Amino acid sequence: MTGRKRNRIILAAIVALSTSALIAPDAARAENLFQMLFGGPIKQKKERGDFPPPPPKKTVRPPAKITKISSPIYYNYKAEVLSKVDFKPLAALSRAASTEGALTLSSFREATSGLSDFDLRAEKEIGAALVEYYSANPDFIWVTGFSANGRAQAALRVLGEAGTHGLDPADYAVQVPSNAFSMDDTGQRLKELIRFEMELSGRVLRYIKDSQSGRVNPNLISEYYDFAPEKLDMVEALKTLADNYNTAAYMDSFQPKLAEYQALRIELESLMASEENEIVVDSKLLLKPGQTSGELPKMVKLFAEKGDDAFRTDFAEVISTYGSGETYVDELVPLVKAAQKHVGLKADGVIGPRTVEKFADQSKADRIAKVRYALEEIRWLPSELGATRVFINQPSFEASFFEDNQKKLTTRTVIGGPRNQTSFFMDEIEQVDFNPYWGVPQSIIVNEMLPRLQRDPGYLDRAGYEVTDAKGRRVSSSSVAWGSYGSKVPYNVRQTPSEANALGALKILFPNKHAIYMHDTPQKQYFERDNRALSHGCIRLQDPRGMAAAVLGTSREYVDKKIAAGHSSEKVTRKIPVYIAYFTAWPTPEGKVEYFNDVYDRDSHLETALELTTAARQPSS
């Protein structure tokens, strides 16, 4: 075959192939024909922009729904229910007396028959103590012959004066047998006496318990309260009462021995006896220099009444000249500023709600209530606070260091906000950290950081935080699938030491389950505010270096050098209790009781608990 003929055959085949490709529904035919002609598959040239198909799209799961970690709650308080004392074990004493026949009519054993139908209501612990004690000691404590004895008279006087301690006398009321009785009916007299014996013993035990620990259990009010109940051996108390003729002294020995307690009692007595004419001022008053208000003369009068002698002397002429006017003239501004400074307010010269609250918003009834609350709350603390101690009163926004019972340092504080309240408890200071790391609590990680981390996983890396897993290994924040977590996050987050660190230059630790401690803060401007309930629950100090020096028993210069040297920790080598307290009435070291705003509305919860306790005790006979 000539070359020309071969070419014509190939050309014809190509034409046939092209035609077949155009009309054939299956492109594979063209390739088969090409293979028949040339012995191999069609080699296609990849054109620019001709890419393989994209991989299938992955399903993107939405971030987990965040379940915020809630703060502690306030409970519906449940007062202890009283139950009928079961005197059946004492009935055996009466049966034994009737068989022996040698006992006198005044015998305690014979008198126990009068308990068979006696409906005495008492707390379970008190009822058990009565039966246990009298079963082992079948004799009267409060009765001699056929009458109440001297011990009984002393005990009744103490119970009757319970109100002077802020207690409710009705809780300790006792039916006292009449002195008039007939010897012709000694059985009835013994019945009255044995019931009087049991009721008085029960009420004395209640008084002792209330004096030592308070009428209510604070731990049942809220999770914000954390107190270990103080043990009381009631059987041993009855034994002591039987052997001790100084009944009143023994009963009152269970009252707090603190100077602050005595100052509160004196304040209560003074308030109850006073017939003061209360000055009522509009609680929403907002008066600036140059403005006019009929409330101004009232406030000037209150400034004079609540100021000290030096204040009244310094401003006597101003008060005399301008005190009765209704226009807030410039001459009164220094007086107002001095009055504000005297009570710890920002001296801005503006008479606003906080100034009114400090000087006029505490009626006599309000002050009596706050003193009574304080007398109850002080019983939750030890009877001795310790000569060296740190005392933080949240409503006054102050922390004080005492040594040898003398106040050596007082500094302003910032406490938890209403949604992040600081708890009421006590602990012991253990350590000071200089240039500390800040271990971010889970509540802040979940409630505040997690929403942003789900959108921006690398946020913590950029902000200078360290992230570690459950084994303590460092991981990159951006490598964590934050969107997988909605509540418990299995990572720890901490902020490294720096000027921006939330704890500032140091923190003072007293390890506790509430994760509360004292610390420095870069937000110094907060200490200029009157209401300083602004933190997440910890105690920020305006003078943290002074407090650190005090608890370490060293100087500020030493603390400054430790901070300059970098991150370190130092143990506190002496016993220093710390009280994170909550008192809306509290005395100064000089004994003057000051009143504070109820920042968290806790007084109302305490009032409810006290009222429920009174109601639960009413059925007692």
Structure-block tokens of residue 221: 């009010």
Q: Is the pLDDT of residue 28 over 50?
A: no
Mean predicted confidence (pLDDT) in 219-245 = 94
Per-residue pLDDT at 362 = 74
Q: What total number of domains does the chain contain?
A: 4
Q: How far apart are the two ends of the chain, measured CA to CA in Å?
A: 137
270-284, 520-534, 553-567: which has the minimum mean pLDDT? Answer: 270-284
4-18, 36-50, 439-453: which has the minimum mean pLDDT? Answer: 36-50
The closest of 175, 280, 263 to 593, measured between CA atoms, is 263
What is the CA angle 173-177-182, rounded to 5? 170
513 located within any domain: yes
Backbone angles phi, psi at 425, to 5 degrees: -160, 180
Say which residue, 165 or 15, is predicted with more confidence: 165
* Whether residue 151 is found in the same domain as residue 10: no
291 located within any domain: no
Q: Is the pLDDT of residue 202 over 80?
A: yes
* Whether residue 429 is found in the same domain as residue 567: yes
353 located within any domain: no
* Whether residue 420 is found in the same domain as residue 531: yes
* Whether residue 504 is found in the same domain as residue 531: yes
Token look-up 């022996």 returns: 100
Per-residue pLDDT at 196 = 97
249 located within any domain: yes
Helix (H) or strand (E) holding 428: strand 425-428
* Whether residue 106 is found in the same domain as residue 195: yes
Mean predicted confidence (pLDDT) in 17-34 = 43
Per-residue pLDDT at 2 = 52
308 located within any domain: no
Q: Is the pLDDT of residue 609 over 50?
A: yes
135 located within any domain: yes
Q: Give pLDDT tens digits for 46-104.
A: 444 445 566 555 555 678 888 777 788 999 999 999 999 999 998 777 665 554 443 34
- Grouping H, G, I as helix, E, B as strand and the rest as coil, residue 571 is strand
* Whether residue 111 is found in the same domain as residue 247: yes
- Kindly list the distances between the CA atom of residue 578 and the CA atoms of 153, 229, 379, 388, 426, in Å, as whole numbers in the listed order: 41, 18, 16, 9, 6
Give the DSSP letter string of 294-319: TTHHHHHHHHHHHS-HHHHHHTHHHH
Q: Is the pLDDT of residue 436 over 50?
A: yes
* Whether residue 224 is found in the same domain as residue 187: yes
* Whether residue 398 is found in the same domain as residue 543: yes
pTM of the entire predicted model: 0.80
Q: Is the pLDDT of residue 145 over 60?
A: yes
Tell which of 269, 297, 318 closes a domain: 269
CA atoms of 249 and 236, how far apart (whole Å): 16
Mean predicted confidence (pLDDT) in 171-192 = 84
Q: Is the pLDDT of residue 403 over 50?
A: yes
Enclosing domain of residue 172: 83-269
32-36, 212-216, 540-544: which has the minimum mean pLDDT? Answer: 32-36
* Whether residue 17 is found in the same domain as residue 166: no
pLDDT tier at 106 (50, 70, 90 boundaries)? very low
Q: Work out the mean pLDDT of the chain and round it to a whole number.
A: 87
Q: Where are the beta strands (DSSP E) in 256-349?
A: none
477-491, 506-520, 593-607: which has the minimum mean pLDDT? Answer: 477-491
Per-residue pLDDT at 308 = 86
Structure-block tokens of residue 1: 């075959």
Mean predicted confidence (pLDDT) in 160-165 = 96
pLDDT tier at 33 (50, 70, 90 boundaries)? very low
Judge contact between 82 and 613, C-beta under 8 A: no
Token look-up 């994760």 returns: 515
CA atoms of 337 and 18, how far apart (whole Å): 104
325 located within any domain: no
Neighbours of 261 (CB within 10 A): 20
Per-residue pLDDT at 184 = 65
Mean predicted confidence (pLDDT) in 103-107 = 49
* Whether residue 103 is found in the same domain as residue 213: yes
CA atoms of 192 and 564, how far apart (whole Å): 77
* Whether residue 433 is found in the same domain as residue 487: no
Residue 429, domain CATH? 2.40.440.10
Structure-block tokens of residue 430: 């253990």
Mean predicted confidence (pLDDT) in 324-345 = 92
Q: Is the pLDDT of residue 361 over 80?
A: no
Per-residue pLDDT at 146 = 87
620 located within any domain: no
Tell which of 496, 511, 541 closes a domain: 496
* Whether residue 187 is found in the same domain as residue 164: yes
Say which residue, 591 or 99, is predicted with more confidence: 591
Per-residue pLDDT at 277 = 62
Say which residue, 200 or 43, is predicted with more confidence: 200
Per-residue pLDDT at 104 = 43
Tell which of 582, 597, 613 closes a domain: 582
pLDDT tier at 602 (50, 70, 90 boundaries)? very high
HSE (side-chain half, CA atoms, 13 Å) at 26: 5
